[in-house]
Amino acid sequence: MLFKNTLAQSTGILAGYVFSFLLAPLMISRLGLDKFGVWAVTGAFATYAGLLDLGVGRSLIRFIAVYEADGRERRMQECLGLGLIAVTVVGAVALVAVTALAPFLSEQIGVLDTDQIRVVLLASVAIFTFNGYQGVFDALGLGIRRMIPPNVSTTIGVTVNFTASVIALLLSTSLVVYALANVAAAALAMIPSFLAMRYLWRRPYWSLPSWELVKEVLAYSLKDQVGWIADLVNFQTDKIVIAFAVDIKAAAIYEIASRVVMGVRGAAVLTVSAMVPTAAARIASEGRQVVAEMYSRYTLRSCGISFPLFVLASVTAPFLLVSWLGEAPGDSELLVPFLTLAYMFNISTAVGSTIALGAGHPGVVSLNSVIIAILNVLLTLALAPLLGVWGVVGGTFLALTLGSVWFTWRFLKLFGLALGSFVSGVLPTAALALGLAVPPALLALAVGTPDGRATAIPLLALSTLIYAVPYWYLATRFDFLPEKLRFPRARVAAPEGSA
C-alpha cells in the first residue's frame, strides 16, 4: 500500500516538475532573463502569504489520517471546513498586502512599472489561493491513504497549467499576460480536485470546525508553521537576497540552477511523500515501537533512491543545462553541483522528519528548520556582499549540513534509536552513489561545456547510462532498493550471518 501510494504521489508531482523543466527555456526565450527573474521573485513574495494560515493547510493530511484511523468522520469534515476557511482568509489578506507592496518592488527591482508588477503580484496571490483550495480537496484522499484519485486530479491540473502557459508565451511576450493565463489555469485545476474528493467522500463534504478541533489542530500546526517559515527562508529568500544585493539577472541565473536542484530534491522527497499519513496511522494503532523498524528500513530505501539522483545531477550539470536551455547562463553550471550536494545530505533527514510529524512531534522538525534558516540568513548576509551569489551558495551549504547533523542527533535521542540506525542507511548508499560517479565526472571534465543541444543531449544520455545501470544493478544486489524497483534478475545479497 505504501509503495502504491508513493507511486501515486510521485505521478502528479513529477508531472509538475517535468512541465516546469520544459517551460523554463520557453519562458527565458520569450520573456528574457529579467522578466523570468521578476516572476521568480514575485512568486517568492506571494508564497510568504502562506504564513498567515498558521500552518493549518499543511497539517490537514496528518489529522485526517488520525481521525480516519479512529473512525471520527465528523472531525474529518471539520478539518476540511477549517482548511477552506484558512485559505479564504489568507487569500483576502494577501491581496491587500501585495497591492500595497507593488510600488516598492517596482522601484527596487525595475523591469516592470508599478501597475504591471501589481497585476503580477495579485496574480501570484490568486494562484497561491486557488492552489490552497486544491490542497484542501486533495487532503482528504491523501489523509485516508487513497492517493490515486487526488494525484490524477493533480496531474490534470498541472497539464492544464502547462498548456495555458505555453499558449500565453506563444501569443505574447508580456509577463502580465503570462500571469493572468496562470490564474485561469489554477482556477480550472480546482475542478478535478473537487471531483476527486467527491468520488472518495460523501456529503456533507465539510462542516464548520468546532473550537475543540481548532485548538487541537492549531496546537500542532503552529509548531509545524515555524518549520515552514524556516523552509521558506531556505528555499525562497536566497533569490530575494541576490535580487537586491546583486541584480535581478543574477537572481534569474540562481533561479535556473535552483530549479534543477529543487527538481532533484522534489523527486527525492517523493520517496517519503506518502509516509506522514502512513506513520500517523501506524503509530496511532500499533504504538511507538514501530518507529525503529520504519526508520531503519525506509532510511536505507530512501537514500538508495535519492542519493544517485543528486550525484548524477551534480556530475552532469553542464550537459543537463545545455540540453535544457541550449546554453549554461552565467555560473549556473557551477552553481548546480554545489547546491545539489548541499541538499543531498539534507535529504537523509527526510524519513526522520516524516516519522516525527506522523508521531505528533512537529516541533522537532520545525526547530531543525529554524536552526538551518538562522544559519542560512546569517551566513548569506555576511558572505553575499563579499562573494555575491557564491556567498549565498556557501551559506546555504554550511547551514544545511550543520542543521542536518543536529536533527539526526535529536531524532535518534527522542525515539531512543542507536546511531547505527542512521549510519547503516546513509553511508553504504552514499559510498555507492559517489563511487560510481567517477566515470561520468571524468567525462564531463574532459569534454567541458557543450556548445549546443546536439552535443549535450547525447553526452547527457551517455553519462546517465554509464552511471545508472551499474548503480541500479549494485543497489539491487546490496538490497538498497524496494522490491518493485530492483534490477531484473539481480540476486539480492543475503543478510549477514545467514546460510
Which of 149, 182, 209 finishes a domain?
209
Handedness of CA 151, 235, 223, 285 (dihedral sign): positive
CB atoms within 10 A of CB 321: 24
Question: Do 176 and 273 lie in a common domain?
Answer: no
Name the average pLDDT for the chain.
Answer: 80
What is residue 243's predicted lDDT score, i.e. its pLDDT?
67
What is residue 377's predicted lDDT score, i.e. its pLDDT?
77
Residue 342 has which C-alpha cell?
548541499
- Report how far residue 122's alpha carbon sits from residue 99's, in angstroms, rounded to the nearest whole number: 7
CB 167 within 8 A of CB 27: no
What is residue 3's predicted lDDT score, i.e. its pLDDT?
47
Question: Do 138 and 5 lie in a common domain?
Answer: yes
Question: Do 75 and 188 lie in a common domain?
Answer: yes
- Report how far residue 201's alpha carbon sits from residue 179's, in angstroms, rounded to the nearest whole number: 33
CB 355 within 8 A of CB 295: yes
Pick the closest to residue 22 from 323, 456, 334 (CA basis). 323
CA distances from 321 to 106, 133, 329, 426, 465 (A): 30, 34, 9, 28, 18
Question: Do 192 and 340 lie in a common domain?
Answer: no
Question: Do 226 and 141 lie in a common domain?
Answer: no
Domain annotation covers residue 494: no
- Report how far residue 471's alpha carbon sits from residue 487's, in angstroms, rounded to the nearest whole number: 10
Domain annotation covers residue 492: no
CB 251 within 8 A of CB 243: yes
- Report how far residue 478's alpha carbon sits from residue 499's, in angstroms, rounded to the nearest whole number: 16
What is residue 466's predicted lDDT score, i.e. its pLDDT?
94
What is residue 491's predicted lDDT score, i.e. its pLDDT?
61
Measured in degrees and rounded to the nearest 5, phi and psi for residue 207 equal -150, 165
What is residue 496's predicted lDDT score, i.e. its pLDDT?
46
Residue range(s) defining the domain that contains residue 53:
1-209
Domain annotation covers residue 456: yes
- Report how far residue 159's alpha carbon sits from residue 189's, in angstroms, rounded to the nearest whole number: 9
Question: Do 177 and 238 lie in a common domain?
Answer: no
What is residue 226's predicted lDDT score, i.e. its pLDDT?
60
- Report how far residue 373's alpha carbon sits from residue 125's, in angstroms, rounded to the nearest whole number: 24
Question: Do 232 and 365 lie in a common domain?
Answer: yes
Which of 178, 209, 240 finishes a domain?
209
Pick the closest to residue 84 from 137, 128, 124 (CA basis). 137
Question: Do 133 and 244 lie in a common domain?
Answer: no
Question: Do 250 and 337 lie in a common domain?
Answer: yes
- Report how far residue 216's alpha carbon sits from residue 468's, in angstroms, rounded to the nearest whole number: 46
Helix axes 238-245 and 389-415, enclosed angle (nearest 10): 160
Domain annotation covers residue 75: yes
CB 156 within 8 A of CB 189: yes
Residue 162: enclosing H or E segment and its boundaries? helix 148-171
Question: Do 149 and 179 lie in a common domain?
Answer: yes
CA 225 to chain centre: 16
Question: Do 99 and 155 lie in a common domain?
Answer: yes
Cis peptide before 204 (omega within 30 of 0): yes
Question: Do 229 and 137 lie in a common domain?
Answer: no
Domain annotation covers residue 438: yes
Domain annotation covers residue 142: yes
Domain annotation covers residue 486: no
Domain annotation covers residue 439: yes
Taking the C-alpha atoms of 196, 199, 204 and 208 in order, what is their torsion angle to the nearest 10 degrees? -20
- Report how far residue 380's alpha carbon sits from residue 377's, in angstroms, rounded to the nearest whole number: 5
pTM above 0.75, yes or no: no
Residue 226 has which C-alpha cell?
515555524
- When divided into structural domains, the chain yields a total of 2
CB 406 within 8 A of CB 369: no
What is residue 490's predicted lDDT score, i.e. its pLDDT?
62
Summarize pLDDT for 74-126 with one digit per residue, the tens: 888 898 888 888 888 888 888 888 788 778 877 777 677 888 888 888 888 89
In order along its 499 residues, the chain shows pLDDT tens digits of 544 545 545 566 667 777 877 888 888 888 887 888 777 777 766 565 555 555 666 678 888 888 887 788 888 889 888 888 888 888 888 888 878 877 887 777 767 788 888 888 888 889 888 988 988 898 888 888 787 888 888 889 889 989 999 999 999 999 899 999 999 999 999 999 999 998 988 878 888 888 888 888 887 776 666 655 655 666 566 666 666 666 667 777 777 777 777 777 766 666 565 566 677 777 777 777 888 888 888 888 888 988 998 899 889 988 988 888 888 877 778 888 888 887 888 888 888 888 887 787 777 777 777 787 788 778 877 877 777 777 777 888 888 888 888 889 989 998 888 888 899 889 999 999 999 999 999 998 898 888 888 999 999 999 999 999 999 999 999 988 887 778 776 666 644 433 3
Which of 175, 209, 243 finishes a domain?
209
- Report how far residue 192's alpha carbon sits from residue 272's, in angstroms, rounded to the nearest whole number: 25
Residue 267: enclosing H or E segment and its boundaries? helix 248-269
